[in-house]
Amino acid sequence: MKLTGAQAFLKCLEEHGVEVIFGYPGGALIDVYDELMKNDKIHHVLTRHEQAAVHAADAYGRIKGEVGVALVTSGPGATNAVTGIASAYLDSIPLIVFTGQVPTKLIGNDAFQEVDIVGITRPITKHNYLVKDADELVPIIREAFHLAKTGRPGPILIDMPKDVLTTRITYPELKPISMRTYKPTYEPHPGQVEKACQAMLKAKRPVIYAGGGVILSDSNEGLTELARRLNIPVTMTLMGLGGFPGTDPLSMGMLGMHGTYFANMAVANCDLLIAVGARFDDRVTGRIDAFAPHAEIIHIDIDPSSISKNVRVDIPIVADCKNALGAINAWFARSTEFNAKECMEKNRPWHEQIREWQNMHPLGYVEETDIIKPQFVIQKLHELTGGDAIITTEVGQHQMWTAQFYHFNKPRQFATSGGLGVMGYGFPAAIGAQMAAPDKIVIDIAGDGSIQMNIQELATCRQEKLPVKVAILNNGYLGMVRQWQELFYNKQYSSTVMEVAPDFVKVAEAYGAVGLRATKPSEVEPVIREALKINNTVFMDFVIAREEGVYPMVPAGKATTEMLLV
Amino acid sequence: MKHTISVLLQNKPGVLSRVTGLFSGRGFNIESLSVAQTLEQDVSCLTLVTSGEDTIIEQITKQLHKLIDVIKVTDMCEHDNVEREMALIRVKAEAHTRAEVLRIIDIFRGKVIDVGPKSYVVEVTGKASKLQAVIDILRPIGIQEIVRSGTIAMTRSHKL
């Protein structure tokens, strides 16, 4: 039986187990939307902006551990999706974005709503395709799913001209995918594993530095096993949070620009740094020559180009983190050289030193009785959700406070735009997360600036009846930039004062959602309790200490030991 | 240091711009570039000359490898290889200089491939340094136009 391109497209999504897609229609996609109406297996979530569709698909994929799918039309639909694609690219999130395109015959003619989206997204996708022949559509989609989730994951874009979607084709049989040019290395080299284990055996001041790769490869258990067996303290990047239990005594929390004092001191003084699925980002390393200067460095990563990109690595292991950690754990399990007691003893002074640093400058803030401190709100959110909510964030101060004070114990519990740093990510991401986990509490922790970047998604929440909660830490500033201006630009608050802001309670109500407000510390807990009880979308407007800063802070370009403290 | 890098690619639309986009996006530089089909119809060979410290060259090689359409990347500097460039030179050739031009071209094993009343177009191949030498010598006679190809390279055959 012959199918149209549009029918084949949906059938191919079904073949890959896709149940939910996020999108926005348009002229070039009208044939797909016509078919979608008749389809009862795939649920389409109509966002109110294409950027939101891509962020929602990104978070849906993160929380579910699957490939998220977004569908947007040609021209402006496609360009609106660009920010979402770039964010997924920098965070290595498996995602497929389908774009409509003008008919093949019109390509290159500057037709209405035509844009060369394949050209535009070439540097921000793992790979992208323009489907020129309807018979290629299904094989390309299959290849895209394979590429998106294997190796170092990433977003794939498929541009589908209108005539491809109307052409009748024979649906091709499923064949195993073999790509001549793409064979990621999953298994670690045994010689490198041996070297790494020997280094761990010798180390007196080891530190594990875990990144987003731990979450993406589901290797949190292997990581936890290694850290506990060898008694190695663990610090995580923003993307790695939840890869190791945040409340474990071995956890030092996040490192880097807004990392904990003791995590940064430990990295600066360690003799062995074990980087797992992390990429030595500038927000983590600070001044590069002062980063882990005394350490031998082991780097486990599936992407060879991540190795020795920013920091020279002594023992590279190119492999899937899960397999590499599995091999390392197996080595220690059968090793006769390893003795758990001796290892404890050998590391004891190191742990004492770290504890001393922690006690010297613990993560904290000055509590006040009449004004709400943002950190207090996050602590309360943590407490009242039992640390079990799915949290998304926008980008800015609230994002760093969340990373510091919501101690994530599980992977796939946290979605944030780490690499690109997209304000406007969190709210649509919460929609994606709630679609992925309907029974979980999902909270977007936002700022009053960033929530306004995609506030229109209130309509999506209402249409899908999603009980997403949004905690707005409202200081009337673009707080992170304001903090930089305070510290490094003579308090010239150029364009960071939000002089006009909406009444967030009323905005929520206008959409049929619920708005709550807290202006005093005593109101924080009741507001959160009430919000959690309401089976509707809720905006919680927390009016917080206006000029609270995020500390510790490593000024840009400084060594991570040169932290500004509270 | 200069490196000649040879890249085997799937011969598909847009592949070249993936490579050049990677260079411009990551701030690597391309000094010359040459692409054409290989023995296999669906495979192209791209040869490019770039320069940078070893760490940069390592990144370039790895990043090229990461492109889905790239089949193989070879840094020719790690191998014994032969490299060639070609130049087409339009040089003034009037009655009193014609013989001189021919002599010079002959010394460099070049060829005259087009003859006009007042000029020749000559073809010279060789390493970049040789082409530069021809150009330097012909310049006083009067070069009107030069077109140079990018470098192409091949590893030497195994010795017996």
Mean pLDDT of all residues in A66-95 = 98
- Predicted confidence band at B160 (pLDDT cuts at 50, 70, 90)? low
Q: Can you count the helices (H) and strands (E) in chain B?
A: 4, 9
pLDDT tens, A430-460?
999 999 999 999 999 999 999 999 999 999 9
DSSP annotation of A171 reads: P
- Give dist(CA A354, CA A262) in Å, integer: 6
> Is A109 strand, coil or helix?
coil
Asked if A275 and A325 touch (Cβ cutoff 8 Å), the reply is no
Write down the ipTM of this complex.
0.90
Instruction: Note if A101 is an active site residue.
Output: no
Break chain A down into helix, strand, coil percent, rounded to 5: 45, 20, 40
- Residues facing B104 on adjacent strands: none
Length of chain B: 160
Tokens of A542: 């927390």
**What does each C-alpha distance from A563 to A256, A483, A486, A555, A558 come to in angstroms?**
10, 15, 16, 7, 8
- Give dist(CA A97, CA A114) in Å, integer: 17
Instruction: Note if A113 is an active site residue.
Output: yes
User: Closest approach of chain A CAs to the CA of B130, in angstroms?
Assistant: 36
> Which residues from B are below 8 Å from A when comparing CB atoms?
10, 13-14, 17-18, 21-22, 25, 55, 58-59, 62-63, 65-66, 68-71
Burial class from Cβ neighbours inside 10 Å (0-12, 13-18, 19+) for residue A123 reads middle
pLDDT tens, A374-407?
999 999 999 999 999 999 999 999 999 999 999 9
Please report how the helices A321-334 and A220-230 are oriented relative to each other, as an axis angle in degrees rounded to 10: 30
User: Closest approach of chain A CAs to the CA of B18, in angstroms?
Assistant: 7
The pLDDT, as a whole number, for residue A178 is: 86
- Predicted confidence band at A180 (pLDDT cuts at 50, 70, 90)? confident
Asked if B123 and B52 touch (Cβ cutoff 8 Å), the reply is no
- The total of other beta-carbon atoms located within 10 Å of residue A199's CB is 18
Mean pLDDT of all residues in B144-149 = 96
Tokens of A338: 């390893």
Q: Give the rounded distance of the alpha carbon of A265 from its chain centre.
A: 26
pLDDT tens, A328-363?
999 999 999 999 999 999 999 999 999 999 999 999
Q: Which residue in chain A is spatially nearest to B73 when comparing CA positions?
A: A181
Nearest CB neighbour to B68, from listed A123, A130, A147:
A147
Please report how the helices A374-384 and A397-405 are oriented relative to each other, as an axis angle in degrees rounded to 10: 50
**What does each C-alpha distance from A479 to A11, A255, A365, A548 come to in angstroms?**
47, 21, 16, 8
**Chains A & B: contacts with CB separation below 8 Å:** 37
Q: C-alpha angle with apex A519: A513 to A522, nearest 5 degrees? A: 105
- Kindly give the pairing relationship between strand B152-155 and strand A20-24: unpaired
Identify the sign of the CA torsion A450, A452, A457, A458.
Answer: positive
- Give dist(CA A117, CA A74) in Å, integer: 8
Task: Indicate which residue of A200, A254, A453, A480 is catalytic.
Answer: A480
- Give dist(CA A234, CA A210) in Å, integer: 7
Cβ–Cβ of B65/A305 closer than 8 Å?
A: yes
> Is A37 strand, coil or helix?
helix
Cβ–Cβ of B66/A308 closer than 8 Å?
A: no
Cβ–Cβ of B21/A127 closer than 8 Å?
A: no
- Residues facing A70 on adjacent strands: A22, A97
Say how many Å lie between the first and final Cα of chain A, rounded.
Answer: 69
Instruction: Note if A50 is an active site residue.
Output: yes
Mutate to test the interface with B, among A122, A158, A288 (most CBs of B within 10 A): A122
Tokens of A415: 């979605």
User: Closest approach of chain A CAs to the CA of B110, in angstroms?
Assistant: 40
- Give dist(CA A480, CA A547) in Å, integer: 10
pLDDT tens, B86-116?
999 999 999 999 999 999 999 999 999 999 9
